[in-house]
């Protein structure tokens, strides 16, 4: 009886014995870690620069103060926040000997990364909806999309992920972790976290994957429907050149959407399904780094007004210290 009691108290004392996690990242020799460090630093700088250009262009150019560009500017700023939740930590990790992250730090990263990611999904929806209104309902566009509605959408896009993602973060951080504490990934991802837990995780897995499925399938279908309606009305444009241009814009937007949602769905619709860790890391690279890198190119360099604004920005703002 006494020993049983002691066992129980032993178990209780080990329940949250994990005070930190170890993020293995892309483990390899020191030299290769340095190469990774350089490559990811360059990519990070490119992401910051590309998106910051768009934010500044929208901010400074009054021609761009219309819903489409206000949404795009906010989306680019969101991308900066999104990559900043993971990449600086990842870079520090390449240089670190121990590769540790505190328990709280891990969940803070998880919460912010996925909340911003969720916001990205909403922004892609809002931007698709905006295109649908502008192209399919051009006469009603000014009445449906007045300034205060646009501001409402902007606030909705920023806050929704933060509210929704409280659910999985609270659920997963309530699980007990009694070791091991090694995460074979470069971010604090919920999938390996759930696998590390020593609690019963069936319910958590079920709720988490249902949550993800509803969110991702819902937003993805919304976006596809918006673009389907856009393409449908583009088909009625009489001029071939206009048709061609509208088509190529839609196709490039859809490519981004499919890249982002495709990789996210592969990871999170069935988090119970065990995929090889190497595969998980590559898929995660797609939505955490590659989409923020190519989004500015796709959304702005294919666009005449945006290119003009960027050129103006480069000529006026960047060259002012004339000697």
Ligand X SMILES: *[C@@H]1O[C@H](CO)[C@@H](O)[C@H](O)[C@H]1NC(C)=O
Q: Which residues bind ligand X (CB under 6 A)?
A: 55, 58-59, 70, 73-74, 77, 150-151, 154
CB 159, min distance to ligand X, A: 13
Burial of 87 (0-12, 13-18, 19+ CB in 10 A): buried
Q: Which residue is nearest to ligand X (CB)?
A: 73
Nearer to ligand X, 24 or 80 (CB): 80
Nearer to ligand X, 18 or 70 (CB): 70
Rounded distance, CA 159 to CA 71, Å? 14
Nearer to ligand X, 56 or 230 (CB): 56
Contact (CB, 8 A) for 43 and 289: yes
Matching residue, tokens 């390899």: 28
CB 50, min distance to ligand X, A: 14
Nearer to ligand X, 58 or 90 (CB): 58
Rounded distance, CA 106 to CA 311, Å? 41
Nearer to ligand X, 59 or 206 (CB): 59
Please, which residues bridge with residue 21 across strands?
A: 101
Question: Hey, what are 58's tokens?
Answer: 């929208």
CB 306, min distance to ligand X, A: 12
Nearer to ligand X, 68 or 193 (CB): 68
CB 72, min distance to ligand X, A: 7
Sign of dihedral through CA atoms 261, 265, 268, 274? negative
DSSP 8-state secondary structure symbol assigned to residue 94: H
Rounded distance, CA 221 to CA 129, Å? 12
CB 74, min distance to ligand X, A: 4
Rounded distance, CA 58 to CA 299, Å? 13
Rounded distance, CA 258 to CA 254, Å? 6
CB 140, min distance to ligand X, A: 20
Nearer to ligand X, 144 or 182 (CB): 144
CB 48, min distance to ligand X, A: 14
Sign of dihedral through CA atoms 199, 200, 202, 204? negative
Rounded distance, CA 88 to CA 81, Å? 11
């Amino acid at each position: 009886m006494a020993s049983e009691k002691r066992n129980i108290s032993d178990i209780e004392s080990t329940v949250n014995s994990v005070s930190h996690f170890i993020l293995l990242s892309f483990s390899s020799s020191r030299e290769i870690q340095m190469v990774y460090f350089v490559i990811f630093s360059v990519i990070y700088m490119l992401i910051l620069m590309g998106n910051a250009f768009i934010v500044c262009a929208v901010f400074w150019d009054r021609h761009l103060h219309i819903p489409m560009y206000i949404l795009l500017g906010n989306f680019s700023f969101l991308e900066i926040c999104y990559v900043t939740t993971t990449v600086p930590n990842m870079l520090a990790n390449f240089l670190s000997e121990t590769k540790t992250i505190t328990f709280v730090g891990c969940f803070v990263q998880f919460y912010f990364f996925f909340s911003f990611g969720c916001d990205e999904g909403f922004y892609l929806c809002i931007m698709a909806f905006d295109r649908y209104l502008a192209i399919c309902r051009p006469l009603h566009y000014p009445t449906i999309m007045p300034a205060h509605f646009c501001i409402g959408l902007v606030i909705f896009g920023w806050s929704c992920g933060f509210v929704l993602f409280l659910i999985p973060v609270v659920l997963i951080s309530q699980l007990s972790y009694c070791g091991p504490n090694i995460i074979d990934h470069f971010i604090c991802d919920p999938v390996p976290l759930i696998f590390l837990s020593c609690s019963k995780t069936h319910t958590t897995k079920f709720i988490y994957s249902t949550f993800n499925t509803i969110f991702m399938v819902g937003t993805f279908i919304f976006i596809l429907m918006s673009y389907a309606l856009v393409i449908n009305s583009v088909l009625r444009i009489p001029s071939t050149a206009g048709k061609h241009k509208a088509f190529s814009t839609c196709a490039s937007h859809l490519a981004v959407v499919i890249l982002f949602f495709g990789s996210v769905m592969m990871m999170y619709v069935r988090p119970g399904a065990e995929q090889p860790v190497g595969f998980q890391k590559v898929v995660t690279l797609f939505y955490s780094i590659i989409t923020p890198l190519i989004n500015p190119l796709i959304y702005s360099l294919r666009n005449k007004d945006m290119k003009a604004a960027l050129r103006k920005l480069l000529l006026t703002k960047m060259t002012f210290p004339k000697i």
